Structure 1
Amino acid sequence: MPAQLPPLKALKVFEAAARARSLTLAAAELHITHSAVSQQIRLLESHFGRPLFVRSARGVEPTEAALLFYAEVKASLDRIALAAERFTRTGEQRIVRVNTTPSIAMRWLIPRLSSFQIENPRMEIRVTTSASDGIDDLREPFDVIIRRAPMSRAGHECIRFLDDVSAPLASPRYLAQHPLAAPEDCLHASLLHLSSRRDAWARWLAAAGVVPPPPPGEHFYQHFFLSLQAATADLGIAIGSLALVDEDLATGRLCQLFPDVVLRDQGFHMLLRADREAASALSVFSGWLAREGVRASSGLRAWIA
């Protein structure tokens, strides 16, 4: 016997309310009354036998369990919407081949792609990753290459689309166990280093007016997402781009240390292939990337003193 589904109408109302953190905004978005939203939320809470929201000064906040449920509901609704668009629309599918690094793919690009696919169901974005920041060894003719620095290649155009601001990051538990009152206290902490950016900690300490420590020891990670996982697991302090950890900061999984001291790098760039056949699809995808970059860059201001 199949598992009993929650009330599907209530799920859509819950997703809108959890995303907006407001019953009023959810009602406006769904074109229903505030009382209708409240009724659907109560129906869902009755189904589960537990509350989904707590009231706050700004509106409502999902409970910790409801946040996890929201992520699954949103992903499922996105997939349904995408399937519906593909079912109702006809036409040849257009493919855009993207190459980037694992950290950018996992921490920034892929979490945002569902919204692009819903808006553009006839386009397929194929993402592959390269361990190196370099692009000279790339043989496949990728349509878009994304890196944390400007790039140059014949027959391509390079566009900066996202700010790259880095800062130290640690878990709340690590900071509770290792209080850091001033930047120089980091010299006595466990610093997590990136193989591709070996000078990041030295640069940040110098910017903070601290004499850099001796060459780092064994805490090296090949990818940023690995150092981030180590920081989340209370193993030390990572340093990395705030654009790749916006959700971790918003949910409190990680904390930014000393927000008045940050490293500003050249920015995230996209290298676009000049190809008449792919021009239309590339224009759509690069335009979306640019808009997402502006939105994300605006959000960074909340974490920078």
Structure 2
Amino acid sequence: MSSFLPPLKTLKVFEAAVRTRSLTLAAHELFITHSAVSQQIKVLEEHFGQPLFLRQSRGVEPTEAALAFYAEVKASLDRIALAAEQLTLTGKSRVVRLIAAPSVAMRWLIPRLSQFQIDNPRIEVRVTTTMSEYFEDVKDPFDVILWRSPLERSGYECIRFLDDVSAPLASPHFLELHPIKVPRDLVEVSLIHLSSRAAAWSQWLNKAGVAVRRKMPGTVYEHFFLSLQAAATDLGVAMGTLALVDDDLAHGRLKQLFPEVVLHGEGFHMMYRSAADSNPALKTFINWLTQMGQASAYDPERTHPADFPGEH
């Protein structure tokens, strides 16, 4: 069988010449001279004892036999390239393990993750959620964790990647039933509270110039996505994170009240393994997360002090 095998270095030249229909373009693509391409084609033709190209004024035209051979050569070169890629990646992790709060995973990460997987089909992102408000409670191993405050751990680095800006949100139908013209009107309607940010409404109303009692009445929900669902189904006005409801705002399912008054958190932070530079998959994912965070920026031209630091 090996006696039928042509010189292997001629095959790449042959493939480029057939694909481009030009010895000149093939030479340019392979970074060799035109004469070198001609010589390799001549070697191949002598090996098979027949011409493979018809020389024309504007290039070359492969013979019918050459076209049939080309199909097999290209398929074989593609398989070799794929095998080489797989061998290169052997021993290098292509799995990225990420932990985030359910609200961040559901409302921000997952809607964007499909495009990342399309662009990077060989990187598997495994998403795990945690209900805990305390980082110390997270026991599962991870490469990346998304948190609502800065974190520290040996062997990891932490950066701020997404703005954390909160504002009052309500459904259009609720606002039809309960006209709210000024911030003070909010005291008279049903407010939706989040247990992890119990003081958010008092902070927002004080910032809007409305004096309130220390404890605000209303319904308390344990998780953001529950409070958001309550607002979307006309149960009241929620204090919501804008980055997590951009789709609801864009499609009119929710409306932001009094956009001139917002609360600024410390920002969502991404903590990742320090060895990211030696892990191409992890580095690619971190760069993508950073870009997505910048695309979701509330106001990239300004920085703000945190109104409620250190909360998950």
Instruction: Report if aligned partners of 2:165, 2:265 keep a CA contact under 8 Å in 1.
Output: yes
Please give the TM-score of this superposition, normalised by the length of structure 2.
0.65
Measured in 2, the distance between the counterparts of 1:127 and 1:150 equals 20
The answer on 1:269 being equivalent to 2:264 is: no
**Which amino acid in structure 2 is aligned with residue 208 of structure 1?**
A
Deviation at 1:214, TM superposition (A): 4.6
Measured in 2, the distance between the counterparts of 1:140 and 1:277 equals 22
Partner in structure 2 of residue 130 of structure 1? 130
Deviation at 1:276, TM superposition (A): 6.2
**Which amino acid in structure 1 is aligned with residue 227 of structure 2?**
S
Partner in structure 2 of residue 234 of structure 1? 234
* SS of 2:269 mapped into structure 1: strand
Cα 1:149–1:248 shift into 2, 3 Å: same
What do the CA deviations read for 1:197-251 (whole angstroms, capped 9, x no partner)?
A: 1111011011101112352345111111110000000000000110000010000
Measured in 1, the distance between the counterparts of 2:258 and 2:284 equals 39
Partner in structure 2 of residue 168 of structure 1? 168
Deviation at 1:273, TM superposition (A): 1.5
Partner in structure 1 of residue 223 of structure 2? 223
Measured in 2, the distance between the counterparts of 1:266 and 1:161 equals 11
Partner in structure 1 of residue 287 of structure 2? 287
Matched ranges for 1:244-255 at <5 A? 244-255=244-255
* SS of 2:275 mapped into structure 1: coil
The answer on 1:113 being equivalent to 2:113 is: yes
Deviation at 1:117, TM superposition (A): 0.5
Deviation at 1:158, TM superposition (A): 0.5
The answer on 1:141 being equivalent to 2:127 is: no
* SS of 2:137 mapped into structure 1: coil
Cα 1:135–1:185 shift into 2, 3 Å: same
Measured in 1, the distance between the counterparts of 2:126 and 2:110 equals 10
- Structure 1 residue ranges (4+ consecutive) displaced by more than 3 angstroms after TM superposition: 275-278, 298-301
Sequence identity percentage? 54
Measured in 1, the distance between the counterparts of 2:107 and 2:299 equals 15
Matched ranges for 1:41-56 at <5 A? none
Cα 1:163–1:257 shift into 2, 3 Å: same
Unaligned runs of 5+ in 2: 1-80, 302-312
**Which amino acid in structure 2 is aligned with residue 159 of structure 1?**
I
Deviation at 1:270, TM superposition (A): 0.2
Measured in 2, the distance between the counterparts of 1:135 and 1:157 equals 15
Measured in 2, the distance between the counterparts of 1:247 and 1:203 equals 26
Measured in 2, the distance between the counterparts of 1:292 and 1:101 equals 17
